Amino acid sequence: MQTDRLLTGVLRAGAVLAALVMLLILCFLLLESWPVLTGLSVFRFLTDASWHPLEGAYNLMPMLAGTLLASIGALILAVPLGIASALFIVFFAPLHLASIYKRLIELLAGIPSVVFGFWGLTTLAPLIGEWQPPGASLLAGVLVLTLMILPMITITAYTALAAVPKELLQNASALGLSRWGTVRGVALPAARTGITAGVILAAARALGETMAVLMVAGNVVQYPESVFDPVRTLAANIALEMAYAMGDHRSVLFVSGLLLMLLVMVLSAMAGLLEKRRYA
Amino acid sequence: MTIDTNAFTLGPLEAGPPCCEPQTVIQVRNLSLHYESQAALDNVSLDIYKGCITALIGPSGCGKTSFLSAINRMTDLIPGCSVDGRILVDNEDIHHPKTDVQSLRRRIGMVFQKPTPFPLSIRRNLALPLNEHGVTQTKEVIVIIKKALQDVGLWDEVCDRLDAPALSLSGGQQQRLCIARALALNPEILLMDEPCSALDPIASGVVEDLICRLQGRYTIVIVTHNLAQARRIANYAAFFWVRERTGQLVEFGRCRHIFESPRDALTAAYVNGNRG
């Protein structure tokens, strides 16, 4: 009884603390970006001629486009690959191969992003450059991001698929379903929630990833015309300019941070909606 | 050849017309089953008759479920499980390398102890296996679904919410849905592994009545721990016993004989509640 109350207290305090930190960060972002949010018209982030913060031109749209394109590109590659890898481990691989493969993926998940960036900078970008100069490009950013979020999607999808109750699979087999029929008809629908959660996490990570993308994407503020054009993402922009930004410029960088956070929030709200619509 | 039809007037239906001719559908010969090196079943031979309900009774661990899963080769899915001996279904050896396991399992449906609808809608639960077996025309699928749900007495309860999640049904309804799912494939044989033991008494009664209604149309092999239930519904009964962790068939015969005048002393002790 006594310990129960104590435990409840401790857990509640932990939960409040976590929520509070999140709230404080949001407040801090709002506070820092307040001067431009009230002083300048918000539409200037959309309609200014370009991003020349020192001359007072604050168009964030090309960088928002760069961020979204890099993330979406990475998701397009990583989601099918990740789910396929997870299916391979759980349903198709021989036992010994499955465990080796899983270790490999876990190892991939543990590589720091700066190392991916370094590899991209020294190997991947020059390789693309030989084919389609300059090399440091949206494509390089997409590929590096793909490698980074692939293990995340694979591991979460694996966990979700491995947690599908054995009885369900047994029932599916007893009904004469083929292995692929079982996977498609029963296992994937049963694991959908977990897989979706993993994809959302991965998307959030891709949106916010700074270092690796900064190192390979070329960082030119522009709407890319092809995947071989360099782009700059919002996160990379913050990292590049924070050191010398002052006044309105500094505030606008916080606005772009706020924008990133908003994107992630929209993403998780979408996930919530999807979940509700599932059986509606 | 003269057949003494009286001899085959079965179990509790004695007053009514004979439910089935003793026509063998499944012939089990010298079936032994091992998990790794541990024998689970030793040298079982018996015949399952067409259209009849055969109950497998006996204490836990006596190999009833192993026996049942050998018939539709669910034993294939258990790592380290090996099966010796022969099982003939309609005179075809099901362990023959050319046997198509998927179509075998279509012909031999199985219902498990725990109701396990797929986490899909009610309609999709029934449509999925049909689609998988090549029935893809929407009209045809709907007709089959309706018929299967009517057969299990679920149609009136769910006809206005076929697209609701199957998991929103009650336990008894879920189990009947699972039976409907097996029936939709139009099997000849139904294997049931304690289909009532996870249900409350009322739901259990509904499922039991359902099984009785299916008698004659399907050949049913049912594992049950509920002796009273076996006695109520079965035409034939097979009594298994476990010796040194290995299951054996002790006695097989008409249900009434097993319960009222068993040949083996062990059977008598078990059905009278003195052993097991």
Are residues A199 and A193 in contact, defined by beta-carbon separation less than 8 angstroms?
A: no
Predicted local distance difference test score (pLDDT) of residue B216 = 86
pTM of the predicted model, to two decimals?
Answer: 0.84
The DSSP letter of residue A245 is -
> Do A175 and B181 count as a contact with CB atoms less than 8 A apart?
yes
Q: Report the CATH architecture of A61-279.
A: Orthogonal Bundle (1.10)
Q: Is B45 helix (H, G, I), strand (E, B) or coil?
A: strand
Tokens of A207: 């949106």
Are residues B169 and B123 in contact, defined by beta-carbon separation less than 8 angstroms?
A: no
Predicted local distance difference test score (pLDDT) of residue A278 = 56
For residue B3, pLDDT beyond 50: no
- Predicted confidence band of residue A269 (pLDDT cuts 50, 70, 90): confident
Buried b / exposed e over B79-100, threshold 16 CB at 10 Å, is eebebebebbbeeeebbeeeee
Q: How far apart are CA B196 and CA B224, in angstroms?
A: 8
Domain boundaries, chain A: 61-279
Q: Which of B102, B106, B121, B191 to mutate to test the interface with A (most CBs of A within 10 A)?
A: B102
Tens-digit pLDDT profile for residues A113-168: 999 999 999 999 999 999 988 899 999 999 999 999 999 999 999 999 999 999 99
CA distance A276 to chain B (A): 13
**Would you tell me which residues 185-204 of chain A have a C-beta closer than 8 angstroms to some C-beta of chain B?**
185-186, 189-190
Query: Which positions in chain A touch B109 (Cβ < 8 Å)?
Result: 174-175
Tens-digit pLDDT profile for residues A42-81: 888 888 888 998 888 999 999 999 999 999 999 999 999 9
The reply to whether A123 touches chain B by the CB within 8 Å rule is no
Task: Name the pairing type of β-strands B189-193 and B108-111.
Answer: parallel
Q: Which of A91, A95, A166, A171 to mutate to test the interface with B (most CBs of B within 10 A)?
A: A171
Tens-digit pLDDT profile for residues B24-63: 999 999 999 999 888 999 999 999 999 899 999 999 888 9
Chain B contacts to A (CB-CB under 8 A): 72, 74, 77, 101-106, 109-110, 112, 114, 116, 118-121, 128-129, 131-133, 164-165, 178, 181-182, 185
The DSSP letter of residue B235 is S
The DSSP letter of residue B117 is -
> Do A173 and B120 count as a contact with CB atoms less than 8 A apart?
no
- Higher confidence at residue A268 or residue B84? B84
> Do A170 and B106 count as a contact with CB atoms less than 8 A apart?
no
Would you mind telling me the total number of residues written for chain B in this entry?
276
Tens-digit pLDDT profile for residues B158-179: 999 999 999 999 999 999 999 9
> Do A173 and B118 count as a contact with CB atoms less than 8 A apart?
no
CA–centroid distance for B245 within its chain? 24
How many other C-beta atoms lie within 10 A of the C-beta of residue B35? 15
